[in-house]
């Protein structure tokens, strides 16, 4: 009996590990969730009420208290300053995209707040206020601000903009793109020599995070192109070994929704991203979850005929997390057959976490919202690209991994 159980356990482990390391063994999840209403929560719901009191501490280093308003309307909050930049600083990020303000959105936000993460990497499409008209647009921006305040008032959210932030509405004389977004959510772009708040970089813990704008010009000689070329040169992997990129439109996507919309940006930037050994790229836009193997398509051009992505150990892992819970619902139609570059995909709401353990390894998890419950569904160990390309770093990597145990990894 014991031998039989041991054999089954070994067989299950081998199948699981093979599925994440073999590019020909992608997984399309068959999970089908019960449909929660994909409608925005009514404005009189308690989640939009002005909160009393403040959250319990969840972070370390120096805590600062700050107060907004005066007299009876004054409200006190706090935030924690980040740890000093360093290659082995442990830090945990949450990753959320396409959130909106539905009951599914609320489930995602509440599950994230239980994760113990210290900063959110937000990959675009915030309030979905552009689905309303006239005064209701501003009202829904404000309600979303109250909706996420339970987190944003106490910890950083690193923003990138999506298509629902454009708000080009000539019928109501609103023709300045991103007007509502930029007035409400400033970014630290001047600190990284960016000429525009839509693209910028920030260092946090052991990570250098680059935010790109899918809906701003990015072809050769444009301001975003020029800035990224120089910013990649400024990355110091000895101090911040983890290089993370955020954008809204995924460069690789096997869903029918928004298929190949990121192809133009891929053609412009993919070679740079591989050359500079980006570790992982997070995107949203597609209302589903998908994770890729390390692949590239840099050899493709209009005359070469080499049009299929190939395995590439120098390439990033591409992860789509446009599954926050917005009003438009899930993107349930994946392309068939599943491409070889696609490792795992599922049409469910949820959020991710990325925990940087040291300069060589990080833990990644995607958590599904299963009828209001948080369910860990996809996970792996992410190997740092910079600290795995010479003998000295490989020895350090081997030593550190031995302390983490055996788990699927990239």
> Catalytic positions, please?
258
**Peptide bond before residue 388 is cis, with ω within 30 degrees of 0:** no
375-394 in b/e form (b: 16+ CB < 10 A) is eebbbbbbbbbbbeeeeebe
What is the Cα–Cα distance from 15 to 175, expressed in whole angstroms? 54
240-270 in b/e form (b: 16+ CB < 10 A) is bbbbbbbbbbbbbbbbebbeebbbebbbbbb
Write the DSSP string, 15-79. HHHHHHH-TT--EE----------SBPPTTSGGGSPP-S-PPP---S-EEEEEES-GGG-EEEEE
Block residue for tokens 């302390």:
403
Cβ atoms of 247 and 92 within 8 Å: the answer is no
**Could you tell me the CA-to-CA distances from 388 to 22, 134, 237 in Å, in that order?**
20, 53, 12
Cβ atoms of 336 and 13 within 8 Å: the answer is no
Beta bridge partner(s), residue 27: 344
What is the Cα–Cα distance from 327 to 264, expressed in whole angstroms? 28
136-156 in b/e form (b: 16+ CB < 10 A) is ebeebbebbbebbbebbbbbb
3-state SS class at 14: helix
| Antiparallel, parallel or unpaired: β 295-296 and 207-211 | unpaired
Q: Copy the structure tokens of residue 90.
A: 């442990």
């Amino acid at each position: 009996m014991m031998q039989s159980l041991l054999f089954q356990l070994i067989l299950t482990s081998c199948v699981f590990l093979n599925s994440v390391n073999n590019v020909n063994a992608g997984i399309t999840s068959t999970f089908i969730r019960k449909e929660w209403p994909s409608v925005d929560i009514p404005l009189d719901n308690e989640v939009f009420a002005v909160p009393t009191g403040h959250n319990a501490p969840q972070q370390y280093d120096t805590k600062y208290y700050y107060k907004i308003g005066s007299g009876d309307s004054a409200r006190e909050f706090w935030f924690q300053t980040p740890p000093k930049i360093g290659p082995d600083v442990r830090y945990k990020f949450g990753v959320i995209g396409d959130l909106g303000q539905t009951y599914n959105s609320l489930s995602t936000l509440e599950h994230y707040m239980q994760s113990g993460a210290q900063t959110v990497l937000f990959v675009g499409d915030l309030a979905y206020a552009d689905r309303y008209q006239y005064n209701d647009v501003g009202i829904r921006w404000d309600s979303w601000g109250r909706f996420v305040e339970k987190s944003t008032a106490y910890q950083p959210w690193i923003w990138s903009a999506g298509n629902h932030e454009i708000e080009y509405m000539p019928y109501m004389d609103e023709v300045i793109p991103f007007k509502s977004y930029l007035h409400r959510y400033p970014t630290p772009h001047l600190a990284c020599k960016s000429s525009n708040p839509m693209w910028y970089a920030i260092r946090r813990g052991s990570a250098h995070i680059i935010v790109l704008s899918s809906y701003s010009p990015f072809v050769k000689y444009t301001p975003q192109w020029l800035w990224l070329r120089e910013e990649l040169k400024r990355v110091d992997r000895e101090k911040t070994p983890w290089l993370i990129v955020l954008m809204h439109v995924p460069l690789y996507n096997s869903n029918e929704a928004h298929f190949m919309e990121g192809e133009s940006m891929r053609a412009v930037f993919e070679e740079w991203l591989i050359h500079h050994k980006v570790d992982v790229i997070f995107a949203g836009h597609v209302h589903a979850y998908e994770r890729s193997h390390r692949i590239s398509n840099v050899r493709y051009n209009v005359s070469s005929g080499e049009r299929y992505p190939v395995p590439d150990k120098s390439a990033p892992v591409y992860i789509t997390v446009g599954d926050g819970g917005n009003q438009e619902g899930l993107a349930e139609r994946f392309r068939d057959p599943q491409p070889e570059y696609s490792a795992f995909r599922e049409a469910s709401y949820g959020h991710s976490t990325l925990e940087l353990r040291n300069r060589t390894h990080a833990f990644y998890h995607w958590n599904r919202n299963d009828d209001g419950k948080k369910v860990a569904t996809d996970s792996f160990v992410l190997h740092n690209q910079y600290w795995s390309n010479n003998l000295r770093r490989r020895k350090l990597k081997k030593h550190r991994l031995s302390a983490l145990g055996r788990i699927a990894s990239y």
